[in-house]
Amino acid sequence: MLMLSMQNLGYGDDFRACYGLGINRLPCESLKHISTPQPHLPQPYRPSVGNLMASKYFVFMNFDPEYERLRADRTKQGSLELDSYLSKKHDELLATTLEPGTYKKALSLVIVDGFAVEITDDQANVLRSANGVRVVEKNQELA
């Protein structure tokens, strides 16, 4: 089940929307950009990075003992530490692997230690070979 934490969007700690995997603390501006289809556009919305078209990819990380330790702490403080740790870890991976300004991180997945990012196909291939990355998979949107 996907848990979308809406705190960063101004909905408070206890508001959660269930959907399929586990998402916590969305560092994006709104869910509309992530999940609302754009019916007025002839094609699905696809942002561009430079002159290349970007798509949303999910990046899943290899086993991390620190992640497992933090995830085992079910307190509010433990949850905050896990959110902070993963956000920093994911941001650092992107910053050290891809050129600044060429990607847009959409959200972090807490249950599976992963994140969603808007990147080009070539950037996805670069991330696939990055240290600590297990899987990079293109989002398959259903019409």
CATH of the domain at 52: 3.30.70
Q: Is position 112 within any domain?
A: yes
Number of domains present in the structure of the chain: 1
Q: Would you say residue 10 lies in a domain?
A: no
pLDDT value at 133 more than 60? yes
Are the CB atoms for 135 and 102 separated by under 8 Å? no
Its pTM stands at 0.64
In this predicted structure, what is the pLDDT of residue 14? 34
Give the mean model confidence (pLDDT) for residues 84-105. Answer: 97
Rounded alpha-carbon distances, angstroms, from residue 54 to 46, 100, 113, 118, 120: 6, 15, 22, 6, 4
Residue 86 falls inside a structural domain: yes
Q: Find where tokens 């300004």 sit.
A: 101
Q: Is residue 130 part of a domain?
A: yes
- According to DSSP, residue 23 is labeled B
Q: pLDDT tens digits for 9-65?
A: 333 333 333 333 444 444 443 333 344 344 444 444 455 555 578 999 999 999 999
Is position 33 within any domain?
Answer: no
Average per-residue pLDDT for the chain? 76
What pLDDT score does 98 carry?
Answer: 98
Instruction: Look at residue 23 and tell me if it is in a domain.
Output: no
Residue 102 lies in a domain: yes
Q: Does residue 113 have a pLDDT over 50?
A: yes
Rounded to whole angstroms, the Cα distance separating 22 from 60 reads 12
Q: State which residues form the domain around 70.
A: 46-138
Q: What is the pLDDT of residue 104?
A: 97
Residue ranges of E strands in 50-139: 52-53, 55-61, 104-109, 114-119, 133-138
Considering the domain boundaries, does residue 60 fall inside one? yes
Q: Is 113 helix (H, G, I), strand (E, B) or coil?
A: coil
